[in-house]
Amino acid sequence: MNFIKILFSRRFIIELLRILAVGAVSLLFYLQFIPIPVLLLIMAFGLYGLTKSAVTVLFKERKVGTELFVNVAVSISVIGKEYLAGAVVLMIILIAESETKFKKDYFTYLKAYYTRKSGGNTFHWYDLNAVAVLKTDDERTWREILEEIIAAIAAGKDQHQLKLSVNGIVSAAHGTVKRIANYTLDSIIVGITNRLAREDYDRFVAHVDFKLFVQKRAYDFFHNINNKTKK
Which tops the pLDDT comparison, 169 or 118? 169
Lowest mean pLDDT among 21-30, 117-126, 193-202: 117-126
Q: What is the pLDDT of residues 50-83, one digit of tens each?
A: 888 778 777 766 777 777 888 888 889 989 999 9
For 166, residues 6+ apart whose C-beta sits below 8 A from its C-beta are: 146, 150, 196, 201, 204
Lowest mean pLDDT among 23-27, 87-91, 128-132: 128-132
Question: What value does the mean pLDDT take over residues 97-118?
Answer: 55
Contact assessment for residue 91 and residue 26, using Cβ atoms and an 8 Å cutoff: yes
Query: What is the predicted pLDDT for the residue at 165?
Result: 93
Question: What value does the mean pLDDT take over residues 2-8?
Answer: 47
Contact assessment for residue 189 and residue 214, using Cβ atoms and an 8 Å cutoff: yes
Q: What is the pLDDT of residues 161-211, one digit of tens each?
A: 999 999 999 999 999 888 876 788 888 888 898 888 887 888 898 898 898
Query: What is the predicted pLDDT for the residue at 225?
Result: 74
What amino acid occupies position 117?
K
Q: Is the pLDDT of residue 151 over 60?
A: yes
Contact assessment for residue 38 and residue 99, using Cβ atoms and an 8 Å cutoff: no
For 74, residues 6+ apart whose C-beta sits below 8 A from its C-beta are: 43, 47, 86, 89, 90
Query: What is the predicted pLDDT for the residue at 140?
Result: 87
Which H helix or E strand runs over 13?
Answer: helix 10-30
Q: What is the pLDDT of residues 217-229, one digit of tens each?
A: 988 888 887 666 5
Q: Is the pLDDT of residue 45 over 70?
A: yes
> Model pTM?
0.46
Question: What value does the mean pLDDT take over residues 28-52?
Answer: 89
For 221, residues 6+ apart whose C-beta sits below 8 A from its C-beta are: 174, 188
For 57, residues 6+ apart whose C-beta sits below 8 A from its C-beta are: 63, 64, 65, 67, 68
- Domain positions in the chain are 2-99, 142-230
Lowest mean pLDDT among 1-5, 94-98, 121-125, 176-180: 1-5
Query: What is the predicted pLDDT for the residue at 213?
Result: 92
- Local structure of 32: helix, strand or coil: coil
CA-wise closest residue to 10 among 205, 207, 202, 204: 202
Q: Is the pLDDT of residue 127 over 70?
A: no
Q: Is the pLDDT of residue 49 over 50?
A: yes
Query: What is the predicted pLDDT for the residue at 6?
Result: 47
